[in-house]
A and B are shown apart, each in its own frame.
Chain A
């Protein structure tokens, strides 16, 4: 029992991650039920509820992940065009580009000596930056997005581990109950 406690302390020390409660691993179903004072049905209901909560959080995290995964290529596109503008400026050429003025309607622009670009910062604010500053800012944004994505992926992995643990625990409680019923059944027919 002490050995089991020692090895389970490895993750049971992590009781939550960013507000997600950790699922506790059940060593022995019978002692789990008697310790928590639950009967089989309420234990199953509890686990089921937990599972539902995990599902809700998973949906939320997945949506965040999708947003970030879309945001990163967008930033890369921005970096790309700023770099192009800068390269054109350095070789003192004009950049000729077709751009969309309205859905399906294109016009031609000639951009000479692009000293600066305007970045949409959000909240109805656009700010003018020199190309260098814009690149630096976009680069920082890109790095931040990458870092948040990494954290998010780790959160999702943690969450999925908790889901798996809960599922396994559910199966074990259920099977334990079936086993108990069988044992009881095996003894009662003799009495009748």
Chain B
């Protein structure tokens, strides 16, 4: 993954290079975390979407809504507004995560350019 090696060709590894490699490693780790977080946020979005669709279909005036560990009996319109609020929060969060991912991908590309430029194929920054 972020293994670096200066094969036979004598390319000096400076502290600056090492720091760039560290940075790259950090970004790579964060990228993996972000992918998981984005997946979880998307799932949550879908679940909320499903819930609000079900809510439209139901005739019940009072529905059970999970708060904490219990299922509280809550009027339908209150649940509606609660779900709406949750949806808003989740999609905002998702947006934020996507933005962070974009910036990390860009910064990783930048570091790749620098590191490959110096070490050529003595360094491998690809997955697997």
Cα(A57)–Cα(B68), bound, Å: 34
Q: Is the interface of A mostly helix, strand, loop or mixed?
A: helix
Q: A160-B25, A161-B26, A165-B18 are known contacts. Are A175 and B69 too (CB-CB below 8 A)?
A: no
Interface of chain A residues 51 through 102 with chain B (CB within 8 A): 77-78, 80-81, 84, 95-100
The verdict on B58 contacting chain A, using a C-beta distance below 8 Å, is: no
Contact A164/B2 with A84-B67, A99-B70 known, Cβ cut-off 8 Å: yes
Secondary structure at chain B's binding surface: helix, strand, loop or mixed?
mixed
**Cα-based distance from A11 to B15 in the complex (angstroms):** 10
Query: Do A98 and B22 form a contact, CB below 8 Å, given A167-B3, A167-B4?
Result: no
Interface residue count on the B side (C-beta < 8 Å)? 27
By the criterion CB–CB under 8 Å, are B70 and A179 in contact?
Answer: no
Interface positions of B from 3 to 47, Cβ below 8 Å from A: 3-8, 10, 13-16, 18-19, 21-22, 25-26, 29
Whether the Cβ atoms of A25 and B68 lie closer than 8 Å is no
Contacts of A7 in B (CB 8 A): 15-16
Tell me which of A78, A95, A100, A175 contacts B5 (CB under 8 A): A175
Residue A182 interfacial (CB < 8 Å): yes
Number of A residues, CB within 8 Å of B: 34
A-B contact count (CB 8 A): 83
10 closest Cβ pairs, A-B complex: A81-B68, A171-B5, A96-B73, A97-B70, A98-B71, A99-B70, A97-B72, A161-B22, A164-B25, A8-B15
* Interface, chain B (partner A; CB < 8 A): 2-8, 10, 13-16, 18-19, 21-22, 25-26, 29, 64, 67-73
Given the complex of chains A and B, what is the CA–CA distance between A8 and B16 in angstroms?
9
CA A41 to CA B107, docked complex, whole Å: 37
Instruction: Please give me the residue from chain A that is nearest to B24 by CB atom.
Output: A164
Whether a CB of chain B sits under 8 angstroms from the CB of A4 is yes
- Give Cα A152–Cα B39 distance, bound, in whole angstroms: 23
Contacts of B6 in A (CB 8 A): 171-172, 175
Bound-state Cα–Cα, A164 to B17, Å: 12
List 6 additional contacts besides A164-B22, A175-B6; criterion CB under 8 Å. A84-B67, A96-B72, A160-B26, A164-B18, A167-B2, A175-B8
